[in-house]
Chain A
């Protein structure tokens, strides 16, 4: 074997060892999430810990979907309600504003485009006091709608920025062809801009949905009755009770992750498909 070839093999071994280490660091917490959700309550807290479940059980998954035992479904519905509405509103407003900033000429357009960066400075924790007081004073305390409004506003700048970027890639000629056929601006959005940018639009929806689905801070501030709890605060409150069961918590944690992981994977898939198709056209 030549020296060069030997060196190549050694480097290959080190490379794959690095990849394996990386994967281990990433995946070990998920490994425990899955295995503990399949272990009995007793086995989960056994010392020394077992690596794989000795006796597999699906009991925890049955339990979390049983409303008498665990209010998981209620929290899930609340989270879905907040996230779907917030993401949809953010998307609709984002399409309108992104279209205006990308395709229409009007005074102030550049100033608006350049100031999105600033909104980052005003996010999250900075606004809890005034938003709490303002939304409470209009009667939105302990209403999921308060959360929806806040999630729309918190995601809107990024949604607009992303959508403007996608719309910028649509060639002017396509739209002009539509204008000659007599389409007005609204029709042009519906018949030309949206169909071309489907993958971008999905990714913006997924982004806003994820932000709303993960929100913990504003949910703790605005929601006080457990009937309205979203998943992050609901699961956290169940966890802070002394009688929590690990398997149940892990099953709930996994099912909580499923929607966002699927949505993210789907949007990535659309994006990849979009870029290859675009390549063929160009």
Chain B
């Protein structure tokens, strides 16, 4: 078959996908940029009004923006670090032969596969203020707290709860990635280290960490973007944790200030974009 035919087929096969992505990701992003310089009337039939950098100055002068950003950065660091660390620890723990391994490996994935909306009902039930099992255990049985913490109603305890939930739900993803790469590490490396008298930590640092580095970098980057933008789990579990996504959503659909919401989106994108550039340069050493 000749080259020209192959080229035409290639273009034809890829065209619908490219078209959709340009139309529904590329163009909306540009449109986002345009909206961010306008005041947008609630009535979609009325024209937008150019306000220059008005939405940006308004956002940057809003204390809730910085608060939301701070909460989100802290939340992202915690969730990414903990879910990666737990995922890695479990992958190392399971990286051996033992009775019941297949079923254990399958069950670990449950929090990751089951829809968040379902999981959140279970968590809300367990952490319920009056009849939840967690408060029953902590307060009545163990006596850890004087009074039952209202998990969902205070920003600080709700933050803890949402963080716990997200680590629980997302560590299986890290586990899967690490488990796969651990299988490929040559056993003889560890045997050689044993001969040299290395302890567990040294073996981890010198062999395991070096071998899993590429996967670690990918897991951390992708998860960071993901947790930074996360809306569903945070919004479903508690109204008290105001991350930047919740802040954006409220500006767009509760306050109906689309111009400001678009400006927030652009700022968010700028933050994530700089983060990725930094990671590519420092971690992946791309130029």
Contacts and interface: CB of A to CB of B under 8 A. Distances in A.
Interface stretch (A59-67, A228-236, A274-282): A228-236
Nearest to B130: A47
B152 interface: no
Interface string A23-52: 101111110110010000000111111000
The A interface is mostly helix, strand or loop, or mixed, namely helix
Given A121-B225, A221-B253, A261-B114, A96 B16 contact: yes
A121 B272 contact: yes
B108 to A, nearest CB: 6
A236 B236 contact: yes
Contacts of A253: 117-119, 121-122
Given A127-B28, A153-B20, A32 B125 contact: yes
B84 interface: no
Contacts, number: 235
B196 interface: no
Contacts of B28: 127, 130-131, 134
Contacts of A261: 110, 113-114
Given A48-B140, A124-B229, A217-B232, A29 B126 contact: yes
B96 to A, nearest CB: 8
Nearest to A185: B9
Interface in B115-154: 115-119, 121-126, 130-133, 136, 140
Interface stretch (B29-37, B155-163, B179-187): B29-37
Nearest to A107: B7
Contacts of B119: 29, 253
Given A48-B136, A97-B17, A157-B21, A19 B93 contact: yes
Interface of A: 15-16, 18-19, 22-23, 25-30, 32-33, 36, 44-49, 93-94, 96-97, 99-101, 104-107, 109, 112, 119-134, 136-137, 149-150, 152-153, 156-157, 160, 179, 185, 210, 213-217, 221, 231-232, 235-236, 239, 246, 249-250, 253-254, 256-257, 260-261, 264-265, 268
Nearest to B260: A129
Interface residues of B, number: 78
A31 to B, nearest CB: 9
Given A93-B20, A256-B117, A112 B14 contact: yes
Report the 6 A-B pairs with minimum CB-CB distance, sorted nearest first: A106-B10, A130-B28, A253-B118, A104-B10, A100-B13, A29-B122
A109 B14 CA distance: 9
B65 interface: no
B31 A134 contact: yes
A239 B118 CA distance: 11
Contact of B236 (A45, A136, A216): A216
B262 interface: yes
Given A22-B108, A221-B253, A153 B25 contact: yes
Contacts of A137: 44
Contact of A127 (B11, B32, B245, B249): B32
B182 to A, nearest CB: 16
Contacts of B123: 29
B125 A136 contact: no
A132 B252 contact: yes
Contacts of A215: 232
Interface in B237-269: 245, 248-249, 252-253, 258, 261-262, 265, 268-269
A100 B17 CA distance: 11
Given A134-B31, A216-B236, A217-B231, A106 B125 contact: no
Nearest to A176: B1
Q: Chain B CB within 10 Å — which of A15, A99, A125, A153 has the most?
A: A125
Contacts of B230: 124-125
22 contacts: A26-B111, A44-B131, A47-B136, A101-B14, A104-B9, A121-B273, A122-B25, A122-B269, A125-B229, A125-B230, A125-B248, A126-B265, A129-B35, A130-B29, A137-B44, A160-B17, A185-B9, A213-B115, A214-B116, A216-B232, A221-B253, A257-B113
